[in-house]
Amino acid sequence: MIYFSLAICLIMIVFLSFATNGLWVKHINNKFLKGFLLPGSIVHELSHALLCLITGTTISELNLFRTDNTGIKYEKPKIPFVFDFFITSAPFFGCAFFIIFISKILSDPIRINNSFPDEILFSFNGLFNLVRYLIDTVWITFNSFRGQFQIKEVRHILFLFAIIVFTLSMSPHKQDFKYLIPGFAILSAILFFLEKLGVSLLKNSWWNSFIKEMWTITTLSISVLATLLFFTLIIMGFVKGYRLTFGHKGSKK
């Protein structure tokens, strides 16, 4: 069930990153946000561009300095939907790679458990147990990060900056949803049935390591994005309450 678990995590990241990034773009000073998210924006657009080149898709426009995920335009791919999915999902893996890369450079400042979920039966009850397991894993990841993080450690600060920037930069454009959601679901189903047919890719060490790293990054990304979204909504609520209370009184005067 690891493939379905990853698919659910990636779909959660799609919605969480889209919602959080959208709120930040709308309510935070645009120049500050552009500067803050610039590294992630460059990786986001270059990831799209790289998959366009790999799939032979013509790029009509490329702007690396946009924070609204509209920095690239490309012609219709040769194999619709399949190549569209590859191109639109590229930033997830590009940003994940840079989180892993920066973590390795900083000597893994925060260590997160990357063990797979136990075998879960393919049933309604199994699906419920899977969702519960994912929630528990994200919560454990959050507590593990919080327990190890030290504000006085420069490498911890740099790593926190990196995961915030690159998880927010995973945010897709609204039009990409029609490729990402069914694409992750179909891909996980294909890999799942391959395992059932005896074609176990997880027996290959490189694939096993890749899936473990993706599992670690996805649970960490969900923890970060859920926390950012929560505090963003709390701050927005306080600001709106303040404006309604004191702004209304001021207007009467």
Could you list the mean pLDDT of each consecutive 10-residue stretch along the chain, which spans 253 residues?
82 92 83 86 92 92 69 88 94 92 86 62 63 74 81 88 92 90 93 84 85 85 88 88 71 46
Residue 219: predicted pLDDT:
84
CA torsion angle 189 191 193 195 (round to 10) = -150
What is the predicted pLDDT for the residue at 195? 82
pLDDT at 9: 85
- The dihedral built from the CA positions of residue 72, 75, 78 and 79, taken in this order, carries a sign that is positive
Q: How many CB atoms lie within 10 A of CB 102?
A: 19
**Residue type for position 2:** I
Please, are residues 224 and 167 in contact by the beta-carbon 8 Å criterion? yes
* Matching residue, tokens 């945010």: 171
Q: Nearest 5°: phi and psi at 29? A: -50, 125
Nearest to residue 13, comparing CAs of 95, 85, 103, 73? Answer: 95
Would you state the pLDDT for residue 146?
A: 79
